[in-house]
Chain A
Amino acid sequence: AQKVTQAQTEISVVEKEDVTLDCVYETRDTTYYLFWYKQPPSGELVFLIRRNSFDEQNEISGRYSWNFQKSTSSFNFTITASQVVDSAVYFCALSEPNYGGSQGNLIFGKGTKLSVKP
């Protein structure tokens, strides 16, 4: 069965520290998509990144980077030099196009609450 596990419920860091949010997934399919979303205190989920299962290249966008490893079924997210504005709940999600999950049916993890203190 498909599942997304975010083992870290809450993380607290001091500004400028680097922090990594872990995501482990389970899927039946060889073709799938992985996502990270950010949910700030206002509640509105914001799309951060989408990755397909055939692309294991790491990606960097400013202070954000993502490490996708199929061998360990992990898709981890690192924030470098964290800032107070990074405080939010971060969700990892999975979509499986070959099992009816192709149309916006994202399977979310429980999220990791990140608190960045000044």
Chain B
Amino acid sequence: DTGVSQDPRHKITKRGQNVTFRCDPISEHNRLYWYRQTLGQGPEFLTYFQNEAQLEKSRLLSDRFSAERPKGSFSTLEIQRTEQGDSAMYLCASSYDWGFSTGELFFGEGSRLTVL
């Protein structure tokens, strides 16, 4: 059983460019989450999907951020017009939950974004 995989692992871009990250969750998991982690901080919740429906978004997810999970399997997180403050590790996690989440999330290794 493969774990959560994220691609690319590291992305360097210039300010103002768009970037997209992909996450492939564990295959039988119905929930998928995106978190952001900056240096020396804990992960911060961005958004989550149950199957293909995006059910919750954090205030951290500005209009420049968009996440999709079109077929309820993989997900993409796009950041438009990147800013230096977007530099962070973007973590994807998945779980198999109905109703209240157990909180046992399976995380990928993250996609590190550096905005120059």
Using a CB–CB cutoff of 8 Å, the interface residues on chain A facing chain B are 4, 33, 35, 42-47, 50, 91, 93, 95, 97, 100, 102-111
Contact = CB atoms under 8 A, between A and B. Distances in A.
* Most chain B CB within a 10 A radius of its CB, from A43, A104, A105: A104
A110 B42 contact: yes
A109 B44 CA distance: 10
Interface stretch (B12-20, B71-79, B99-107): B99-107
B48 A44 contact: no
Given A44-B109, A50-B104, A108 B48 contact: no
Given A105-B48, A111-B40, 9 more contacts: A43-B89, A44-B3, A44-B107, A44-B108, A93-B42, A93-B103, A103-B50, A103-B56, A108-B44
Nearest to A34: B103
Contact of B43 (A91, A95, A100, A102): A91
Contact of B93 (A102, A104, A107, A109): A104
Contact of A108 (B42, B89, B101): B42
30 contacts: A4-B42, A33-B103, A35-B103, A43-B110, A44-B108, A45-B91, A46-B107, A47-B105, A50-B102, A50-B103, A50-B104, A91-B42, A91-B43, A93-B42, A93-B103, A95-B101, A95-B103, A103-B50, A103-B55, A103-B100, A104-B31, A104-B93, A104-B97, A105-B45, A105-B56, A106-B45, A106-B103, A108-B44, A110-B40, A110-B41
